[in-house]
Amino acid sequence: MKKIYAYPLLGLSCFVSGAFVAKLADDKITVDVLRNAQQMIGLQFTDAQLDSATTSVEEFRSSYKRIREQPLPNEVAPALQFNPVPVGFTFEQKREKFEVERRKGIKLPANKEELAFYSVPQLAELLRTRQISSEELTKFFLNRLKEHGPTLQCVTSLTEELALEQARKADQEIKAGRYKGMLHGMPYGVKDLLATKRYKTTWGSVPYRDQQLNLDATVVERLEQAGAVLVAKLTLGELAMGDVWYGGKTRSPWDINKGSSGSSAGSAAAVAAGLLPFAIGTETLGSIVSPSTACGTTGLRPTFGRVSRHGAMALSWSMDKIGPIARSAEDCAIVFNAIHGPDGKDLTVVDAPFNYNKNINPKKLRVGYLHKDFDREYPFKENDKATLEALRKAGIELVPIELPNLPARDLTMTISVEGAAAFDELTRSGRDSMMVQQHKNAWPNVFRAGRFVTAVEYLQAQRVRSLIIQQMHEKLKGIDVYISPSYAGSNLVMTNLSGHPCVVMPNGFQKNGMPTTITFMGQLYGEANVLALAKLYQDLTSHDEQRPPMALSTTK
């Protein structure tokens, strides 16, 4: 008979295999139970003090049972909302016209395969001038997805029927003179944690692979309103971790023997391979930055509370963010302009202006850089030094800055706790045993461990997070944008906790031929400035124009 570890404080007992979870109803809370339990929280009370607590703890456990009887689907958020705005911070109130320079004189290439790597403005001009129809362009990208998607393992569902309907509608509107803008008729894909009415929303995970949600996520609705054409649901590592999903492992087009990292694995791989002009990804702790690095794409992680998460799988209500992955910062700006802003459903979203236009002079921005992080030894140092030098040569003065000295990495328990709550039913039902990944650091074990973080310690961590928010505000006074290595140092963790936006973009290659990236950070709600500086850098260099070596011609 298998040994059972009992956790009566949680009302759970778990077999060693983790394959089954059963409720404990009758175990009495005793001094011995509490004496053992307090070891987890690093405190020591007297037996008399523990005895006085037993009745209250029994009552808490009874409350847990009644609360668990209340259905709580993933989309129900806690009543507490994270606010990234520090004391003394204000954002722009004036709203300026969004403006991207139209690409004049763009002609349909003789070799239509070149369209796979055209920018959004280039494709938009071809669509606007009706040199190519949306239906033709949609079929072109559908063919590429059908041919190369299986190799990259980057697609969960092709939305072909819907795509052709939307494309034909776009063609009719454009022909009738009702042109909506640069996304009108433009094919795209979404990470398959965003709900779509007509197609499954699998969250990349075995227990949900047949899940059908009867709604469209706000991001999907807004892109449809802009005239964009949804052609594919794209892979993510199970429940937004890594690049392993129920159908396999998503690959980088730069080396199909390597994974595309995660968790926006399919979004980055598809864009990098020229299977889509752009895609939607999400980030909680690196899920746009990491696959953009593995695949050589440009990704925008917006400020927390910029884009509605209605219809998106919740992993961490206080850290989840949605943003575009594309080939350039300008492409990201065009997509972000269509998806940001309140919808009345995600109450964390702030109605702040996005004033991206050609009047921004990046050379007048005050630009910082994390000098200590760039000075340390790390794998991509030479490429990052070259980035800083290119900006200096362009007339950008780089001011050395430092981040707060606070234990940011310790606060990543936030994801464990919030994720454990978001997937409470999965854990208690034992269906987590169906997931592909079952190693020590995989979600099933992370969610179990998250249940042992006490509410007091979770709230203490959030109080330290408040210090991070306030001290970030102080450190960034007088700075519009700052530059960080994508991985060296604490920036990735710190700013995912503080809610600051970033643009990650390619800046060279490793010796093994895989891409490297660098990260430009903005002030809260300062996406316009960080995208403008990123565009300047991409105009100075050709890193964003590189194409992966795998055979990418379409034969269908």
What are the residue numbers of the active site? 191, 263, 287
Amino acid at the residue 32: D
151: left (phi over 0), alpha (psi -120 to 50) or beta: alpha
330 touches 100 (CB < 8 A): yes
Structure tokens at 512: 């093994």
Rounded to the nearest 5 percent, the helix, strand and coil shares of the chain are: 40, 15, 45
The kind and range of the H/E element at 384 are helix 381-393
217 touches 196 (CB < 8 A): yes
348: left (phi over 0), alpha (psi -120 to 50) or beta: alpha
Residue 76, classed as helix, strand or coil, is: coil
367 touches 478 (CB < 8 A): no
Residue 4, classed as helix, strand or coil, is: strand
Q: H/E/C letters for each residue in 486-543?
A: CCCCCHHHHHHHHCCCEEEEEEEECCCCCEEEEEEEECCCCHHHHHHHHHHHHHHCCH
Q: What is the DSSP string of 118-144?
A: --HHHHHHHHHTTSS-HHHHHHHHHHH
Radius of gyration of the chain (CA): 24
